[in-house]
Structure 1
Amino acid sequence: FKERKGQIIQVEAELEEPKTEKVEVKPLEVSQVKIEEADVIVSCGRGFEKKEDLALAEELAKVLNAQVGCSRPLAEDRKWFSEWIGLSGHKVKPSLYIACGISGVIQHVAGIRDSKIIVAINTDENAPIVEMADYIIVGDIHEMIPAITEAFKKHLSA
């Protein structure tokens, strides 16, 4: 191999202009608070079927000055988040943890067990998260989260 020598060939390429157009540049909003240090967390699970529905959790989090988190499937399978809460993710200990559409498998529960108050919103009253929740709201997240958000808005503005 020592005796071999490569040859450099200059090639001029003619490239077409890209067919894309920059419409708007929006900076990514990155929270200054790490999820592990958050006092209030609104966490999303598989109950969120469309990414657009995350706006429900984001609005509730905004009202509560909370961080938005998720269970592993939303980060790993759906790629909606880069990190998750649970045994193989972040372990949290907020004053208030609101689990929205999260079933509560043991891996997730391991990451939230030190939360002071856990509220579970789920259509399944027998979901594992119910066993450790302090408060259980049985219902669809698409109806319950907006109702809770409005209730907090009224309460916090009074």
Structure 2
Amino acid sequence: MKHTHPLPGDIGLTQISGVSGRLIRFGQWINGDGFADYEHAFLVLPDDQVLEAEPGGARIRPLTDYGGANVLYVCPEGLTERQRAGICTAASRYVGVPYSFLDYAAIATHRFHVPVPGLRRYIANTRHMICSQLVDQCYLDAGVHLFADGRWPGYVTPMALYQLLAR
């Protein structure tokens, strides 16, 4: 479901400009998630705050930092207030979690069925997350499974969230 006024527990999808944005867009395309302008995902928290993964580690920032940005806010149909609260509570555990561009390579390796022993364990145990993995993990911690397609936990890009929730 898409909407314009974000609520706690909503997912914000937006663009990243420059080289980083182009690299993420390319990584998403390789992973089969399309080649569109949603390279970043963040989680809306209470009190007009957001949790987002950044190269220096996940952090909480003011929602107003996205005031002039083109942001699409999405969430699953029927998300309850209790689920929203659980998602936001889970978010606090991930402040400081490191970011890793290598996760795009791991996701692509899995997509192309390249036999890499321990790949699934690597993704689960490194405690590094890209933005969309962070959002998905907060939902999972609250008992909300966004994807029912059998994908491994952590194999989520911003465009995968867009394709699931914004269409």
TM-score category of the 2 structures, normalised to the smaller one: under 0.3
TM-score by length of 2: 0.26
| Structure with more of its chain in helix, by fraction | 2
| Greater C-alpha Rg | 1
